[in-house]
Structure 1
């Protein structure tokens, strides 16, 4: 928050200018929508925003992978990084994914057990309301 001439102005981070990430708010959650090919180049674009959002205390975050066309180990590292940072700050992290190949990667690596993918944003947000704050 910033005070300007007696008024308190709440500043929000602008949506990042990257073709691989869209950020929006939905029902009190920050939704990070990964887009296109999530490889090492995309990860380098996404990390600054991911770190900013996951550093907030008690952040409520949903990562939406539905618009992803390709997802490699760089994408996995982003998810592990987000999960660890959110846990460290007492927040919640939920995942939305319907892509069969991405779901397979999540299952094979065991990440699907730590961060169970939901089929829709509504399901992820509903899961958030049912949890007590754990990831």
Structure 2
């Protein structure tokens, strides 16, 4: 079941992927709204989730915690979770948290029939 869109996240299909589009500011007060969408996106076997962070204004460790939790869940179910971001600010955050290798951001959505090259 897909959770209802809220001011901070919405989920939709894009080819074989489930996209969780993140919006606005993700912090301790709003990370739960993102978690609802990530939990739903990773609830089935072999999920292939793209987390679109291109429309995020602010993202802190609360959001990173939810990404790690969802990534663990996706892997446990034989799937994967990838980030889509072209924002240097978010790339710096991932590097500072030592998560850049775990989540090498994609600049755009991958084609459904090819493996993307991280950028």
Q: TM-score, normalised by structure 2?
A: 0.88
Residues in 2 aligned to 1:128 and 1:87: alpha-carbon distance in whole angstroms: 20
Match of 2:95 in 1: 107
Structure 1's 128 and 39: CA in aligned 2 closer, same or farther, altered over 3 A? farther
Say whether 1:130 aligns with 2:112.
Answer: no
Which portions of structure 1, spanning 4 or more consecutive aligned residues, are displaced by more than 2 angstroms?
Answer: 125-131
Q: TM-score, normalised by structure 1?
A: 0.78
* Structure with the largest fraction of helix: 1
User: Counterpart in 1 of 2:45?
Assistant: 57
Consecutive unaligned residues of structure 1, counting only runs of 5 or more, are 1-12
CA radius of gyration, larger in? 1
RMSD: 1.8
User: Structure 2, unaligned stretches of length 5 or more?
Assistant: none
Aligned residues between the structures: 116
Q: Is contact 2:47–2:78 with CA below 8 Å preserved after alignment?
A: yes
The partner residue of 1:25 within 1, 6, 13 is 13
